[in-house]
Amino acid sequence: MAKQVSRFTGLVMSRRDFRERDLLVKMLTASQGPLMFLVRGAKRPKAKLAATVLPFSHGSYLGVLHQRRLSLLTAANQVQQYQHITADLTANAYATYLFDLVDAAFYDGQPLGRWFNQVSSALSLMDQGMDPQIIVNVLELQLLSQFGVQPTWDRCVVCGRRDLPLNYSEENGGMLCANHFDRDPYRIRLDQRTTGYLQLLSTVDLTKVKAINVSDYIKQRLQKLIDTIYNNQVGLHLRSRTFIRQMDNWDSQLKLSGRKD
Ligand SMILES: [Zn+2]
């Protein structure tokens, strides 16, 4: 059977050793989503392909693409590595989690359509030093639809009002206005600014973003809500996300112990 080699733009999601001399590299492609590639001989000294499949690399690759078995990587050019993401512990943790999230949201071989550019823009923005939490929050909110969860953020799900304070109700799959708070005693209380950011982040196009500045208070509120939705409604528990929460805790403990001095 003839093997068809295609050229594609790829993002290296993860990699691991395979057999004595080979690597398995998971890449995100636009046309076929996440795919697992065999990179033959990549662990040999002087193997040219090895440098093109370092974590957080992106560029133009050549290979034989398969959905249900290993794809084969044969050549690469114009490959670059996201430098800040590679070097910065926090950005690195968020980018790793973002790839895990994307891997969970799409099956191998699934065309990504507009999502590819959203993910690739997210990585570029993080690499430019933009707040990785907010960038990842955008994709966490927007990818909910891929998991079959589509909360209504901009109005009350009962009456459609937008002018009253809104709280989030998991049970009702979206916002409740003050007139309908009694529909869910377990609703998640939100202040108006957090609600505004939820509406902004759930619709923003990352390919057009230049800057988003959010206060620490709002960031905490946003993350708490998003974590609750992923835990309860999506049922997705990724180790890379737990790691970020642990980092946050170390961070706040360091700040606290700093204050005592
Ligand atoms: Zn209402």
Map out the domains of the chain with their CATH numbers.
5-81 (2.40.50.140), 86-151+202-260 (1.20.1440)
Check residue 138 and give its pLDDT.
98
The answer on pLDDT for 156 being more than 90 is yes
**Confidence label for 190 from pLDDT (cuts 50, 70 and 90):** very high
The answer on pLDDT for 201 being more than 90 is yes
Check residue 1 and give its pLDDT.
53
Give me the mean pLDDT over the 82-108 stretch.
97
The answer on pLDDT for 260 being more than 60 is no
Beta sheet of 174-177, edge-to-edge order: 152-156, 174-177, 166-169
> How far is ligand 1, taken at its centre, from the CA of residue 162, in Å?
8
> How far is ligand 1, taken at its centre, from the CA of residue 181, in Å?
8
Q: Which of 164-168, 208-212, 246-250 bottoms out in mean pLDDT, i.e. has the lowest?
A: 246-250
Rg (CA), the chain: 21
Summarised one tens digit per residue, pLDDT across range 125-138 is: 999 999 999 999 99
Residue with the two structure tokens 């071989």:
109
The answer on pLDDT for 33 being more than 90 is yes
**3-state SS string for the chain:** CCCCEEEEEEEEEEEEEECCCEEEEEEEECCCEEEEEEECCCCCCCCHHHHHHCCCEEEEEEEECCCCCCEEEEEEEEEEECHHHHHCHHHHHHHHHHHHHHHHHCCCCCCCCCHHHHHHHHHHHHHCCCCHHHHHHHHHHHHHHHHCCCCEEEEECCCCCCCCCEEEECCCCEEEEHHHHHHCCCCECCCHHHHHHHHHHCCCCHHHCCCCCCCHHHHHHHHHHHHHHHHHHHCCCCHHHHHHHHHHHHHHHHHHHHHHC
The answer on pLDDT for 250 being more than 90 is no
Q: Global pTM?
A: 0.93
> How far is ligand 1, taken at its centre, from the CA of residue 160, in Å?
6
Check residue 257 and give its pLDDT.
77
Give me the mean pLDDT over the 7-27 stretch.
95
> How far is ligand 1, taken at its centre, from the CA of residue 185, in Å?
14
Residue 237, CA distances (Å) to 34, 92, 97, 245 in order: 19, 19, 11, 12
> How far is ligand 1, taken at its centre, from the CA of residue 217, in Å?
26
Nearest to 129 by CA among 73, 100, 88: 88
> How far is ligand 1, taken at its centre, from the CA of residue 190, in Å?
15
38 near 22, Cβ under 8 Å? yes
> How far is ligand 1, taken at its centre, from the CA of residue 40, in Å?
59
Share of the chain above pLDDT 70, in %: 98
| Token digits of residue 205 | 């196009």
Check residue 176 and give its pLDDT.
98
Q: Which of 124-138, 202-216, 238-252 bottoms out in mean pLDDT, i.e. has the lowest?
A: 238-252
Q: How far is CA 233 from the centre of its chain?
A: 17
Summarised one tens digit per residue, pLDDT across range 160-178 is: 999 999 999 999 999 999 9
Check residue 259 and give its pLDDT.
63
> How far is ligand 1, taken at its centre, from the CA of residue 1, in Å?
61
To the nearest whole number, what is the mean pLDDT of the chain? 94
> How far is ligand 1, taken at its centre, from the CA of residue 166, in Å?
9
Residue 44, CA distances (Å) to 20, 63, 122, 131 in order: 9, 19, 33, 38
Residue 8, CA distances (Å) to 29, 62, 175, 218, 245 in order: 7, 6, 41, 39, 35
Query: Which residues are placed with Cβ below 5 angstroms of ligand 1, an ion?
Result: 156, 158-159, 161, 177, 179-180
> How far is ligand 1, taken at its centre, from the CA of residue 216, in Å?
29
Check residue 117 and give its pLDDT.
97
